[in-house]
Amino acid sequence: MDQKIDLIFAIKQQNLDLLDKIFWEVSDPDSPEYGKFLTAEQLGKLIRPKDESIDTILKWLHQQGVSAKSYRFTPHKEFLKVFVDVAKASELLGGIKFHYFSPAVKTASTSRLRLARSLDAYSLPAEVAAHVDFVGGVARLPKIKTMKVTPLSNQYSAVTPSVIKQAFNITAVGSSSKNLQSVNQFLGQFFSPADLTSFQQQFNVPVQSVSKVYGPNVPSNPGVEAALDIEYIMGVANNIPTWFISTGGEHEGQEPFLEWIVNMTSLGNAAPYVFSVSYGDVESSITMSYATRVSTEFQKIGITGRSVIYASGDDGAGCSSSCNSFEPNWPASSPFVTAVGGTVLGSISPLSIQSDAISSGGFSNYFRRPSYQANAVNRYLSQSGLPQPSFYNVQGRAIPDVSSFSENVVIVYQGGQFGVGGTSCAAPVFSAIIALINDERLQNGKSTLGFLNPILYSKVTQFPSMFLDITTGPTNADGCCPGFPPTVGWDAVTGLGVPNYPGMRAALA
């Protein structure tokens, strides 16, 4: 096969123990080092792979006939992207066979998607493998997310920017020229500037353009996910410069999520302070080495003062095919991101909010529970009415961390108003609130918030008004599996609750 693909070599980094130490120091609000984030240059000096690792890999590539024109490094050489044809990729990786794959369900954005992937286990020479965490773009098939527009429902109250601001008591607008927020898209999810302007006009939101499009965008082929994300992060956080980051893939063979990691690593100090991401997959579908290395990349983003916020997913507790265990979602299950679950708006006056049955939540099977959430989660686990412990890892990282609205959210798409649902609605709204608090901190000469979870779980005991605690509604049962119930305090459906802006501002700004 002469199709060109990208192989991404994740090269082993140095000083990961020191990286971990500094990460927690700058993220812990009780630490004297809190907010003293590293620059991209300082981070690069800390983690840059050993010269021996780089030299060994390059020597091998050159011996295999791969020229210098066919590869490039990220700025600190922690990733190496090698652009070769499939035959050469097969040769490099131990003679594995590649096959073409296309999505089973085709959408406008993925109809032409054709991926070269291998069903075989790849191998590297021992002297090279010793310096590599994994090779991306070989086996993983990206999850194709399909979000459909529907007529607005009478089952739930309609959610618009003004409703969100009223429910969460948001009155702030951005004013710092240093601030920057972003939404992040994959697999041909593009947005229409015309739809964005129409949305802003119809819902009395200040008309503001996207300040930068990073990556491809085809306005004539907009996606529902992209429309939702950009309309609501800008609709809630008004007057804050916003990037639309699109990772469509330069070539068919790329793995979009890993490509996004590489791109954001390359941005360095120019990267946005808030990343809103509505992307996920079943945790068990990825390897532990992949999940661990990507979590290290999340730490690197946090250590430079940036917040990574993920939708928790729309699978409830997630049910295995055998109906006897839960399947958590990743990257929401990483301890180094903030996972946002879903709630339903019953009425705005009086305010009535319940849990959403689709809200993915539970416990990671890969990552142990971090100390920042131990007290809140242990209280939850001590209660009756939970699923049998055999269904989940009681020691695992617990998700979600927080929540927002995930049903009947009104967007403008291809000129019309429609309702959409899913925790994809929740992530950009919570991201917008963090961007507003960052804005005030920047105005006052303070750092941005960076990795959020330690300060969220720590401050909520001192400032209980940070969140509106969601205690009623359905469990997040999925298929033939039971689910977790909402309850007082943190729970595995709505996390700490939905944001209350005055309380969050008092605690964080």
Let me know: does 340 contact 331? Beta carbons within 8 Å: no
424 in catalytic set: yes
Among 6, 229, 259, 297, the one annotated catalytic: 229
Amino acid sitting at position 212: K
Amino acid sitting at position 304: T
Measured distance CA(188)–CA(200) in Å, rounded: 23
Quick one: three-class SS letters along 398-446?
A: EECCEEEECCCEEEEECCEEEEECCCCCHHHHHHHHHHHHHHHHHHCCC
Residues 6 or more apart whose Cβ sits within 8 Å of residue 60:
125, 127, 128
In the numeric block, which tokens belong to residue 173?
């607008």
| DSSP secondary structure letter of residue 105 | S
| Cα angle 55-290-4, degrees, rounded to a multiple of 5 | 65
Measured distance CA(248)–CA(176) in Å, rounded: 31
Among 6, 225, 255, 327, the one annotated catalytic: 225
C-alpha separations of 86 from 91, 98, 121, 300, 417 in Å: 9, 7, 15, 32, 44
Q: How many residues does the chain have?
A: 509
Among 424, 439, 469, 478, the one annotated catalytic: 424
Residue 40 backbone dihedrals phi, psi, to 5 degrees: -60, -35
Measured distance CA(470)–CA(168) in Å, rounded: 13
225 in catalytic set: yes
Catalytic residue ranges: 225, 229, 424
